[in-house]
Structure formats: structure tokens, C-alpha cells
Structure 1
Amino acid sequence: MQYRKALAREQAMSRDGSGVSSDLEQAQAQYAAQVQQIAVNEAQIVQAEMSVQTANANLGYTRILAPMDGEVLGIVTREGQTIVSSQIAPTILVLADLDKVQVQTRISEADIQKIHPGQPLWFYVIADPQTRYEGELGYVQPAPQEALEEQNAGASAGNQQSSAIYYNGTFEVDNRQRLLKTSMTAQVFIRIAQVKDALRVPVAALGRSLGDERYLVVVQKENGSEERTIRIGINDRQYAQVLEGLQPGERVVIPQDAGSV
């Protein structure tokens, strides 16, 4: 502003003849120098702002923000270790929300047609077999896990499936009391049917199958035993519902090779 006013004054004096040409030239030179200096200063400001942005970005690389609320289950990367982020983000630590846990159960190929989301279930964990946890089946994987693993591994089409086929089912359970831990082993029971006041027999007592859910059983009598045909309904592989062929109170014989008589 000072040099602009000085230049304007010298230009006005030059026009009315009272000025000195050398003073005008000096004022013009000083003004031009200041204009150039302002341009240099502005460029330095832009460079400084870019440096600040770069420093903030570098500072951001030193801060690790969790993508969710949760508890730290394990620290994978140790202090002082160099982290290189390329196409795959490195794992720093394992974080989990333990208010709810997801339970995964394996469903055999023989049972998969009877299973669907929404079925009630209950389970026990090995660490506490007396406590019963209840839930509802949330999702059933449409393809067996083994087939997906083979696809990911690039298995050839000629490989034969030699092991039993299982489908994964998942469901969530409230865990605000933190009784359930990660990687626990659970025994899951899914209810596919239910009857009340049913007559039942141990599955081990069932003899030869006659088809149409009919089996031979040995019924104990006062003076011996007799073989009888019964028809069963629901079978949970421990007990079978008896629809016909037995009366309440009758005793059936369990073969010795099945456990006891």
C-alpha cells in the first residue's frame, strides 16, 4: 500500500511537471519489486499449507481408529514392528463386540432337509454342561463348507468327496453377562418337531426295520419275552415316539451290545 501511494504521487507530480523523473523511476521499481515479493510470499504460503496437509496425513498414518465398539481379543502387531499397507490392510489387533456372540453349528446332510431358519434351538457348552442356552436358527449355508473350501483352494473337478457333508448354520445369542467366550465348543439341539405326552422307547431298543417306520422290538413279559412290531413317529436318535404297538408301562429289551438289558 505504501509503495502504491508513492508511485501514484510521483505519477501525479510527473503529469503536472513538478516531479523528478528519477524519483518516478525509483517509485516504479520499488512498486514492481513489492508486487513480485507478494507473489513469492503467496507461493510460500501455498507451499506451507501443502506441507501442513502432508504432515497431517502422515500424522493420520500413526493413528489407528477402531471401526466399531468392542473388546480387544488379541494384539497381532507388536510395538516397533513396521506395518506396510499395500493391497491388503494389515491386521493390528482383533476386536469383537461380545454383547452378542454368533454360534456356528454343523448340520449333517441327512438332516438338512428338516432344518430352516427360525427354528427354536438350545445348546450347552463343554465348560458348563448344566446351563442351557436358547436361541433361534438364523441362517443356513446353502452349500457345504467343504465345497466352498475346495473352490477357494482351486481343487480340481476330479477330486472326490470322501468325508461326510455338513452345512453350516449360524445364530446369535445374548452375551451381556460374558458367560460365553470365543472358540467355545457347543452341543446344539434344533427342534424340528414337538409332541406332548408321547409314549417313547430308547432308539437302542429298536430292532430290524420293516419299512414305513415300523420296527421289531422285544417286549419283556412275566414269563419271558415276545417280539412285536411297533410304528414310530418322531425320532431324535435317543428316543423314538411310539405311535402303535406298545402300551404305557410295558418294558422293552435293549440288546446287550447296545449298552445294557
Structure 2
Amino acid sequence: MKKFILLGLILAVVAGVLIWRSSGTQREITVLQTASVEQGEVRHLLEATGIVKAQVGAQVKIGARATGVLVDIPVKVGDEVEAGQLVAEIDDREIRAKLAEAQARARLADAKAVRAAKDLERKKRLVSQKLEPQSSLDEALEDARVTRYESQAAAAALESLRVQLSYYRIFSPIHGVVSNITAQEGETVVSGLQVSNLITVLDPTRLEMWIYVDETDVGRTHPGQDVEFFVDAYPDRAFTGKVKLVYPEPEIRDNIVYYRALVDVIFDPEHPLRPEMTTQCRIVVERRENVPTMPNEAVKWVNGEQAVFVLRGGVPERVDVELGLRGLERSEVRSGLNVGDEVVTQLVLPDVGAGAR
């Protein structure tokens, strides 16, 4: 009877130890979420703010080089215009009257020059035949020279008026979209004044972006680096480009030193960008391709040290892992884990309470 009692006590103690160990393991680590180690790409990104700008020559403010009343503006804001298309016309009646007068003067001067040339030839014959003195030939030479200069001056004045007449019809110098009109038909424009800037035409296909890089990051920013950026107008669309140039001259904004990186923007007709749009940019400083990667959330801090837990046989096990390049979401795994391993991304440690993960 005592043997049976002793055996029962021993079995009870063993069962209690096993239960205690099992419950102690559950108290040590509670796994809430896991993720797989995957083969893929890791990018180290530099985040900055940028602004979309029109390239030099992509936005043209078309002004008036003539003074007069606007009689026609055949375009409106939003219209697409071709290079050489008429966009405004100024009343040219006065200049046409001046041109007609200049044409008459030019014809008269030409006639005088022709007559003086003929008279010169006649004088040469008469003087050679001793029928008139040499002085008459000298006078004919001078008259021919003067009338020739008068004819040239009249022709130059006529050409000047023809050029001025061309200013009364205003054409777009580039292909683009009318983005602004500052005058209306019936208004008087004065050449040479700021208000004579009538129409602005923008080529939306020729845009660039200025990224303001903090002075602490400018050493890692170089031409040729890939850039992806986002705008609030298209929050789900990632635009791409490349760093073309980093300007050496600093820009100080709010007492912070920045350097401007220039990025060419590829035109997307389905998601057209506009000048002065604010962009959230990511410059790809470094990348690793086709390497084992794991989520950054799998790296935990335990007693002031980095720790990674891998799930093996349903039980979390702490492992030593060497990490390489760290991206925004995932990090490169150099050793300690294999592709396919399940790492713990959310867990509860008993020493830090149920809310710590």
C-alpha cells in the first residue's frame, strides 16, 4: 500500500514539474505576429521635400512690343497652342498708314536715284566730248551719291516699319498650354511696361523638380541616383526620376542650410504635374538586390541589446543575426537566418508587461 502511495506522489511531482515548465515557457514569450524571411531588394532611402518647377524656357510670358488697343485675343486659359500660333492682335491702322507713307517715300527716293544715275551717265558723255565742263560732271557725281544714300535710308526706314508692323500680331514662341491671360480686348497696352506681359504659355512636358537636401545628407546625394516622389494630387501614384545635378550654392531656409538637387521629371499625360507642386521625395542612396531580407519590426531590444526571435517548432528562439543594409521597411540579412524562416515581429515579454511588443 505504501508503495502505491509513494509511486502516486512521484507521478504527481513529475506532472507538476512538467506543467510548471510548460506554463513558464508560455509566460516567457507570447508570440502575436510573425513574418517570413524573403529573397528580395533592400533600399536605403534619403527622404526630403521638393518642388515641381518649369524648366528654363518651358514657361514663356508673352509681352507686347507695340503700343495700341487690343482688338483680338483668340485664345483662353487652358487652350493648347502651337509654336507660331496667333494669340493676340493689336490695332495696326496707324502703323499701316505710316508704312504706306514710307513706301511712297522709298519709291520717290528710288526714282530720284535712278534719274541721278542716268544724268551722271549723260554728263560723262558730254564731258568726254568737251561739250560741258568738268564741274558739271562733279555735280552729277555728288547728286548721284546723295540720291543713292537717300534711297538706302528710305529703304531702311521702310523695313523698320515693316518690322514694327509685325509686332502688332503676337504669336506663341513655344508649344504649350495657355496658363494665364492678364489683358482683355479693348485695353490699351504700352510696349516696354511690365503690364504689357499679356499671355503666359507653359509647356507641361518640360518640368523638373528641386529637392532641398539637408546639409547633413548632401554628401550622400550624387547625380545618377534614382528618385521616387509623391504629390498630394495623386497620392497613390509614385513618380520616378534621376538626380541630374546638385547645386554647390546653399539655400538657407528657417536657419537650416539646404542644397538643391535637380531632377528631370518624366511627363505622364494621365497624371500631369504642375509647377509649384510640393513633393515628398525618396532618394535611393544605396540598394541591395536578390538578398535575404526581413521586416525591421523583427528587431527587438531586450535588456538594452538587439534581439531577433525565430519561430522553430512553434517555439520562439532567440538567434544571433548579422544585418546589412537597412531600408525603411526591411533589412538585409547577412547571416543567422535563411529564406523561409519565420521571425517574430510582435511579441510580449513577461518582464515588460502585456503591453510591450
TM-score (norm 2): 0.45
Q: Verify: 1:174 aligned to 2:266, yes or no.
A: yes
Q: What secondary structure sits across from 2:271 in the alignment?
A: coil
Q: 1:188 aligns with which of 272, 275, 281?
A: 281
Q: How does 1:159-238 map to 2 (within 5 A)?
A: 162-163=255-256, 165-175=257-267, 177=269, 179-183=271-275, 184-191=277-284, 192-202=286-296, 207=301, 216-217=306-307, 219=309, 231-238=322-329
Question: Equivalences for 1:1-261 in 2 at 5 Å?
Answer: 4=122, 42=148, 44-62=150-168, 64=170, 66-67=172-173, 69-75=174-180, 77-79=182-184, 80-84=188-192, 92-146=198-252, 162-163=255-256, 165-175=257-267, 177=269, 179-183=271-275, 184-191=277-284, 192-202=286-296, 207=301, 216-217=306-307, 219=309, 231-243=322-334, 248-253=341-346, 261=357
Residue 167 to residue 227, structure 1, CA distance change in 2 (3 Å): farther
Partner Cα distance (2:247, 2:303) in 1:
33
Cα-to-partner distance string for 1:180-235 (whole Å, 9 max, x where unaligned) = 2223333333322123343323369554998xxxx524759899999887543222
Question: 47-56 or 246-255, which moves further after superposition?
Answer: 246-255
Tell me what 2:15 maps to: none
TM-superposed deviation, 1:63:
5.2
Q: Deviations over 1:131-164 (max 9, x none)?
A: 3333332222234332xx8xxxxxxxxxxx733x
Contact 1:201 1:241 in 2 (8 A): no
Partner of 1:158: none
Cα gap change, 1:254/1:242 in structure 2, threshold over 3 Å: closer, same or farther? farther
Answer with 129-138 or 224-233: which moved more.
224-233
Q: Tell me the residue number matched to 1:153.
A: none
Native 8 Å contact 2:321 2:334 kept in 1: yes
Shift of the 56–169 alpha-carbon distance from structure 1 to 2, 3 Å rule, reads same
Change (3 A) 1:43 1:104: closer
- Supply the AA of the counterpart residue of 1:250: V
Q: In the alignment, is the contact (CA less than 8 A) between 1:145 and 1:166 conserved in 2?
A: yes
Task: Report the Cα distance in structure 1 between the residues aligned to 2:158 and 2:303, rounded to whole angstroms.
Answer: 82
> Is contact 1:145–1:168 with CA below 8 Å preserved after alignment?
yes
Identity percentage of aligned residues: 19
SS in 2 for 1:98: coil
Structure 1 unaligned regions, length at least 5: 15-23, 150-160
Tell me, in whole angstroms, the C-alpha distance in 2 between the residues paired with 1:201 and 1:140.
33
Q: Distance in 2 between matches of 1:2 and 1:243?
A: 103
Q: Which runs of 5+ in 2 are unaligned?
A: 1-117, 349-355
- 2-structure distance, mates of 1:140, 1:39: 63
Report the RMSD for the aligned CA atoms in angstroms: 4.9
Q: Counterpart of 1:59 in 2: which secondary structure?
A: helix
Q: Note if contact 2:291-2:332 (Cα within 8 Å) is conserved in structure 1.
A: no
AA at the equivalent of 1:216:
Q
CA 107–228 in structure 1, closer or farther in 2 if over 3 Å, else same: farther
Question: 1:204 & 1:145 partners in 2: Cα distance?
Answer: 40
8 Å Cα contact 1:217-1:252 kept in structure 2:
no
- How far the C-alpha of 1:178 sits from its partner, in A, is 5.7
Change beyond 3 A, Cα 1:73–1:113: farther
State the secondary structure of the residue aligned to 1:177: coil
Alpha-carbon distance between aligned partners in 1 of 2:138 and 2:213, rounded to the nearest angstrom: 85
3-state SS of 1:54 partner = helix
C-alpha change, 1:33 and 1:107, in structure 2 (3 Å) is closer
CA gap of 1:109–1:45, structure 2 versus 1, over 3 A, is closer
3-state SS, counterpart of residue 219 of structure 2: helix
Q: Is the 8 A contact 2:298 2:345 kept in 1?
A: no
Q: Offset of 1:55 from its aligned partner?
A: 1.2
Q: 1:209 to 1:81 in 2, by over 3 A?
A: farther
Contact 1:107 1:166 (C-alpha < 8 Å) held by counterparts: yes
In 2, the alpha carbon distance for the partners of 1:61 and 1:208 equals 78
Aligned pair count reads 220
Larger RCO, structures 1/2 (Cα 8 Å, 6+ apart): 2
